[in-house]
């Protein structure tokens, strides 16, 4: 199996429909031991989702913006395993006034919170876990991206800016963690009907444009293709891959315009 013997941290699990949950499911199916994280009022949902996995893992609380939480998490993992082989960063948040067509009126504090939680937090997680990766002789970090480097999307607003920043953070972390044999990558997923996505006004427009342009079929209700690639990137099959943004989007990113036949 792809991840036999691997010890992995999966952050940001909320429900059993999330990309993080499906990544945890596939990781277990491929032989990994896992620990999940949840946060605040969502902890009960995370614990409920954990019980739906074949081997229900422990759920630890992690507010990525609270240094004490990060310290407790690392301490727990060190006592449990001593080392760590990989982690999925599936953490993002933007206040309501930073989304849904409010780009021009978003206050600085809301944009700053979105950036700190959604992009800077990848660095926070990486630096916190680095001692555990060093003890393992290296490791792999994967984050969840959405292709925002060159395009502006309806309603995505400051989260789009944060995802573009996240891609850059990925590259800089790859540069600085390479000497520790730690790989840092991002998986850029097509639109999926997760709880987070449903909070974005106009999400159905993403689904519609994918149906028109992507050369392969794309099912917004199926996170499994994304979870599969995340597990590949966490495995030893990707030992020399770092600093990459891997697209799992049915080829949407590669196509300039609709594939629909013209009507004459």
Active site residues: 156, 163
Close Cβ partners of 156 (under 8 Å, ≥ 6 residues apart): 99, 146, 148, 163, 200
Residues 186 and 145: beta-carbon distance below 8 Å = yes
Token couple for 135: 């003890």
Q: What are phi and psi of 188, to 5 degrees?
A: -95, 110
3-state secondary structure of 140: strand
Nearest CA to 88 out of 139, 136, 148, 16 is that of 139
Cβ atoms within 10 Å, residue 260: 9
């Amino acid at each position: 199996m792809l991840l036999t013997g691997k010890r992995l941290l999966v952050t940001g699990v909320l429900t059993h429909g999330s990309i993080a949950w499906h990544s945890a499911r596939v990781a277990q199916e491929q032989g990994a031991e896992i620990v999940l994280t949840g946060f605040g009022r969502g902890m009960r949902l995370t614990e409920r989702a954990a019980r739906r996995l074949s081997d229900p893992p422990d759920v630890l609380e992690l507010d990525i913006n609270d240094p004490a939480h990060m310290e407790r998490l690392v301490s727990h993992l060190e006592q449990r395993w001593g080392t760590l082989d990989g982690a999925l960063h599936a953490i993002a948040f933007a206040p309501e006034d930073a989304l849904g067509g409010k780009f021009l009126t978003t206050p600085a504090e809301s944009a700053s919170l979105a950036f700190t939680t959604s992009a800077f937090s990848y660095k926070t997680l990486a630096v916190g876990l680095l001692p555990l990766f060093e003890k393992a002789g290296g490791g792999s970090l994967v984050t969840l991206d959405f292709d925002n480097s060159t395009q502006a999307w309806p309603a995505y607003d400051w989260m789009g800016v944060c995802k573009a920043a996240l891609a850059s953070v990925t590259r800089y972390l790859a540069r600085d963690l390479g000497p520790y044999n730690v790989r840092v990558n991002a998986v850029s997923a097509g639109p999926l009907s997760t709880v987070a996505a449903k909070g974005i006004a106009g999400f159905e427009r993403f689904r519609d444009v994918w149906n028109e342009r992507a050369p392969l079929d794309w099912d917004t209700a199926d996170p499994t293709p994304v979870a599969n690639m995340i597990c590949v990137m966490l495995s030893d099959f990707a030992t020399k891959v770092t600093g990459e943004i891997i697209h799992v989007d049915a080829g949407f990113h590669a196509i300039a315009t609709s594939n629909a036949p013209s009507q004459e």
